[in-house]
Amino acid sequence: MADQFDLVVIGGGPGGYASAFYAASCGMSVALVERDTIGGTCLNRGCIPAKAFLETAAANRHVAHASEFGINANSTGIDFAVSQARKARIVEGLVKGLTGLTKSKKVTYLLGTGSLEAGRVVSVQLADGTSKKIQANNVILASGSVPRTIKGFPIGGSIMTSDEVLMLNKIPKRIAVIGGGAIGCEFASTFADLGSEVSILEGAPKILPGLDPDVANVVVKSFTKKKINIKTGIVVTGQSSLPDGSTQITFATGDPQIVDVVVVSVGRRAFSDALGLVGTNVKVDDRGFVVVNEYCQTGESGVYAIGDLINTPQLAHVAYAEAILSIKHLVAKTQRQLCTTACHGQFIVIQKLHGLALQKEQAREAGHDVVVAKHQFRANSRAMILGEIDGLVKVIAKKKS
Ligand SMILES: Cc1cc2nc3c(=O)[nH]c(=O)nc-3n(C[C@H](O)[C@H](O)[C@H](O)COP(=O)(O)OP(=O)(O)OC[C@H]3O[C@@H](n4cnc5c(N)ncnc54)[C@H](O)[C@@H]3O)c2cc1C
């Protein structure tokens, strides 16, 4: 007989673990199926490691400009293996934190690949070689996305996506980033501040094409100051390895360029490859996104899809919002829709101190029925990256608001 759960979540990234934890807090029995490491792209191969390196780059920049502040500091170079080890410690600490939460929230964690069959049966190919079938009352598909690649640039050696570049142990002397979107620009900025000669190779007339032009121009100006070579309206046609280990990139027009590392950063595709879906009414569109309505419901009753797997902005906080929306919808059939047009790409900011409008006691004295929630900075990825882990966020809210 198959195991049975109120909710089975496939994929343990921000969308998946947020759904699992929230559903468990609502009293549901939950299984979370993850084929790699909890935390998904964001924690293991995305936001967190990329921001850890951005911070290393910022530290290097601060040292370079320290004399402007009257500080005598001379750098004798960067030991990037140490930066890598620091990044790995941050990621490991956060993975441990999430693993602890699965236990404390009594979520059944299954290390394996989940696929959806007809009748909301989730089949799990477990990492230990065995398999099991789970009967789910509800299912959330949260299998995320993977980097896109382009013809003529097979990944391997010095040709990398974001996955591989985040594992580098040495700062490349010359690096070309193909694609001037948000992720490409983040890598360009990081490596320029670490001392690499950086080029951005973008096919469109401008980098950051989706951004407000005034804001994009600020980035262009700052990149120009950092001596990043921005080539727009340019079409890469292929690459070849040279005997000295470097790579030559060729273009539809113009001279080739020689670099040490090429980062292919041309967007991410929804990853539904291992989800099965045979015999279900879950539809995948021609771009690979699972089709959902405004409540993240797929065509199959009781099955939702969220995060990078669906056609909404590919951002961790959008995945979190969709997780909460789906659980609220399946628990309470709430009619609140997600407004992704209001989603911004801003990251977490830590303020040193913020006053609270009303203290808990004052609020109670004023006749409010309040709830209090606290989140320690030491459990926050951004605080760990900055190395400033003392502090907390405390929210005092009206119970019914
Ligand atoms: C370099 C980089 C920097 C980024 N920076 C930011 C940023 O600063 N801010 C921001 O908001 N976003 C950022 N993002 C985007 C963010 O990482 C994603 O939007 C977010 O991770 C999406 O979450 P998700 O849960 O939908 O999917 P994912 O995080 O991709 O997680 C999906 C999980 O599902 C698992 N999985 C897949 N198929 C199966 C299966 N069949 N069975 C079991 N498990 C499966 C995968 O192993 C993975 O762990 C960045 C991304 C990258 C690559």
pLDDT at residue 337, rounded to an integer: 59
Ligand 1 centre distance from Cα of residue 144 (Å)? 5
pLDDT per residue as tens digits for the range 118-160: 999 999 999 999 999 999 999 999 999 999 999 999 999 999 9
Which of 287, 315, 332 corresponds to the end of one domain? Answer: 332
Whether residue 256 sits in one domain with residue 129: no
114 ligand 1 Cβ < 6 A: yes
Q: What are phi and psi for residue 68, nearest 5 degrees? A: -60, -25
Q: In which band, very low, low, confident or very high, does the pLDDT at 390 lie, cut at 50, 70 and 90?
A: low
Average pLDDT over residues 307-313: 97
pLDDT at residue 344, rounded to an integer: 42
120 ligand 1 Cβ < 6 A: no
Ligand 1 centre distance from Cα of residue 347 (Å)? 16
What is the C-alpha separation between 112 and 130, in angstroms, rounded? 9
Helix H or strand E encompassing 10: strand 3-10
Ligand 1 centre distance from Cα of residue 173 (Å)? 29
Average pLDDT over residues 289-298: 96
102 ligand 1 Cβ < 6 A: no
Which of 266, 284, 304 corresponds to the end of one domain? Answer: 266
Whether residue 188 sits in one domain with residue 252: yes
Average pLDDT over residues 2-14: 95
36 CA: nearest ligand 1 atom: 47
DSSP state of 112: E
51 CA: nearest ligand 1 atom: 8
115 CA: nearest ligand 1 atom: 41
pLDDT at residue 347, rounded to an integer: 28
Q: Rg for the chain (alpha carbons), in Å?
A: 23
126 - beta bridge partners?
Answer: 112
Ligand 1 centre distance from Cα of residue 15 (Å)? 8
The residue whose CA is least distant from atom 21 of ligand 1 is 42
Q: Please report where in the chains the tokens 């391997």 appear, as a residue.
A: 156
Whether residue 124 sits in one domain with residue 10: yes
What is the C-alpha separation between 231 and 229, in angstroms, rounded? 6
Whether residue 138 sits in one domain with residue 258: no
Q: 201 lies in a domain? A: yes
Whether residue 259 sits in one domain with residue 175: yes
Structural domain count, the chain: 3
305 ligand 1 Cβ < 6 A: no
Q: Is the pLDDT of residue 395 over 60?
A: yes
274 ligand 1 Cβ < 6 A: yes
Q: Which of 267, 314, 289 is nearest to 149 (CA)?
A: 267
39 CA: nearest ligand 1 atom: 49
pLDDT at residue 346, rounded to an integer: 37
Whether residue 134 sits in one domain with residue 51: yes
Give the pairing type, strands 121-126 and 229-232. Answer: unpaired
15 ligand 1 Cβ < 6 A: yes
Q: Is the pLDDT of residue 338 over 90?
A: no
The CATH number of the domain holding residue 242 is 3.50.50.60
pLDDT at residue 286, rounded to an integer: 94
Q: Is 123 helix (H, G, I), strand (E, B) or coil?
A: strand
Q: 301 lies in a domain? A: yes
Q: 343 lies in a domain? A: no
pLDDT per residue as tens digits for the range 351-386: 333 444 566 777 788 888 888 888 888 888 877 877
Q: 89 lies in a domain? A: yes
Q: Is 162 helix (H, G, I), strand (E, B) or coil?
A: helix
Q: 63 lies in a domain? A: no
What is the C-alpha separation between 93 and 383, in angstroms, rounded? 12
Whether residue 302 sits in one domain with residue 259: no
pLDDT per residue as tens digits for the range 48-78: 999 999 999 999 988 998 998 899 998 889 9
The pLDDT > 70 percentage for the chain reads 92
Whether residue 214 sits in one domain with residue 106: no
40 CA: nearest ligand 1 atom: 49
Domain holding 362, by residue range, is 358-398
Whether residue 276 sits in one domain with residue 139: yes
pLDDT per residue as tens digits for the range 82-124: 999 999 999 999 999 999 999 999 999 999 999 999 999 999 9
33 ligand 1 Cβ < 6 A: yes
Q: 350 lies in a domain? A: no
Q: Is 85 helix (H, G, I), strand (E, B) or coil?
A: helix
Q: In which band, very low, low, confident or very high, does the pLDDT at 295 lie, cut at 50, 70 and 90?
A: very high
Which of 234, 266, 298 corresponds to the end of one domain? Answer: 266
Whether residue 242 sits in one domain with residue 229: yes
Structure-block tokens of residue 171: 């700062």
Mean pLDDT of the chain: 90
Ligand 1 centre distance from Cα of residue 321 (Å)? 14
pLDDT at residue 336, rounded to an integer: 61
pLDDT at residue 341, rounded to an integer: 46
Q: 68 lies in a domain? A: no
Whether residue 241 sits in one domain with residue 202: yes
Ligand 1 centre distance from Cα of residue 306 (Å)? 11
pLDDT per residue as tens digits for the range 201-241: 999 999 998 777 787 888 898 899 899 999 999 999 999 99
Report the greatest alpha carbon distance in the chain. 77
Ligand 1 centre distance from Cα of residue 392 (Å)? 26
Q: What are phi and psi for residue 378, nearest 5 degrees? A: -65, -15
270 ligand 1 Cβ < 6 A: no
Ligand 1 centre distance from Cα of residue 191 (Å)? 23
257 ligand 1 Cβ < 6 A: no
Whether residue 166 sits in one domain with residue 233: yes
Q: 390 lies in a domain? A: yes
Burial code (b: 16+ CB inside 10 Å, e: under 16) for 53-86 equals: bbbbbebbeeeeeeeeeeeeeeeeebeeeebbeb
